[in-house]
Structure 1
């Protein structure tokens, strides 16, 4: 179990992991049950500078920007890179092969810039709104754990769109491990935010997964590492919107 966590932490973040990890596809696929714990760890680290910023400045927007900055640094912006590449490929490619070529190109285009700016802006606004209600820590954790549980769902139900790259190398997790990851995420959400957050989070997460899966299937016939990154970002934002809607309605 500890090996699975260290493997997941090394895969989903830029946090140095001193121990040697087995990154064979079957090992990665087996570890997906604990990916929400990686989200919990990353969110927990981001909470600290956000909390200190809030004490020093008392401005929710600045606090939200600080939290976002730390999240991006901890993950190496890998998920943001995924949604930018998907936006460029899906928006600029004329056929499946060309879309995949664009997605693999390290350069960013207009579609990617727009998608990246809008997603970062939406995350900052959601965190700021939660901060105003005293729920910054809760929303950070809820968004982080549920979005990491969403990724394996796409990995299980969609075939890789290409025979190389991260999407193929991550393997296809068993349904039991996928369900286990969702269960871990929802348990963490229950502890942090209560039963209503569990209901809204799972609904928002599944809407995001279905939407991303449908888009990826129709555009390139499956998933890639970039699609998995887009899954994380989309799930995070959908869950964040649902969370803010609940706290503003109560």
Structure 2
């Protein structure tokens, strides 16, 4: 089905999955529809990035850059319900604290936060604040946010295409993601983020795309070695780590005047 109404409903489901933004109450839901909605995960990232960019721009008009960054980070956490940060924290606890695949999966389902998760979350948020503060003083941060939010969600969502879902599908919120993507859905995801990245200098666009491919390849191999596949938490972790990598690459490009 490719009619406009159906596609709009799929987009609404993707928005509801990744954010706290309201969608029409009449939007029909099914596991199959939620799985098909994965094609719009990058587009949702673009929307969320645009909203955060707007909040930063408004804040920066009244506050110093670092304070505007802080306000934007708080808004982002509220906007997504710390969805991806929660995934990063749970994955760090599971893989850091479990000695076997089964134990790691059990720990990842535990809602309590352990040492590995707490340390990872603190470093991720602190690192994000430091990097965004630097970028705010040397780049157009609103544009950076849109690119990072879009590309990082693309990388995370593409892991569904060729990895095995290893969580308990009977109790997981990410159950609909257990079914693999189709090739057209994968291409739509990738095309969305590539088009967004094209606003950068060509060499930076190429650098980010190469970095995304390398990160995805390495992260996929790492997850397969430790879990035998992916879980919803792993997708959240992939998004957060890729977002941080994007900021780091852009900082390096500014520092070394690459573009």
TM-score bracket for this pair, using the shorter chain length: over 0.9
2:39 pairs with 1:33: yes
State the partner residue of 1:219. 226
Structure 1 residues 17-76: Cα deviation after superposition (integer angstroms, max 9, x where no partner): 124344434323322332222111111111222222222122x22222222111111110
Distance 2:26 2:164 in 1: 28
Structure 1 residues 121-154: Cα deviation after superposition (integer angstroms, max 9, x where no partner): 1111221111111321111011100011112221
Distance 2:227 2:139 in 1: 42
Q: Is the 8 A contact 2:54 2:142 kept in 1?
A: no
Structure 1 residues 150-186: Cα deviation after superposition (integer angstroms, max 9, x where no partner): 1222111110112412444223111221121111111
Q: What does 1:137-148 correspond to in 2, within 5 Å?
A: 137-148=142-153
Q: What does 1:172-211 correspond to in 2, within 5 Å?
A: 172-191=180-199, 193-211=200-218
Q: CA deviation at 1:102?
A: 0.6
Q: Is the 8 A contact 1:81 1:229 kept in 2?
A: yes
- Which SS does the other structure have where 1:222 is aligned? coil
Normalised by the size of structure 2, how large is the TM-score?
0.89
Count residues in correspondence.
248
* Alignment RMSD (CA, Å): 1.7
State the partner residue of 2:86. 81
Distance 1:87 1:114 in 2: 9
Q: CA deviation at 1:236?
A: 0.9
Q: Is the 8 A contact 2:153 2:239 kept in 1?
A: yes
Distance 1:241 1:141 in 2: 15
2:136 pairs with 1:128: no
Structure 1 stretch displaced more, 115-124 or 164-173: 164-173
- Which SS does the other structure have where 1:56 is aligned? coil
Normalised by the size of structure 1, how large is the TM-score?
0.92
State the partner residue of 2:4. none
State the partner residue of 1:243. 250
Gaps of 5+ in 1: none
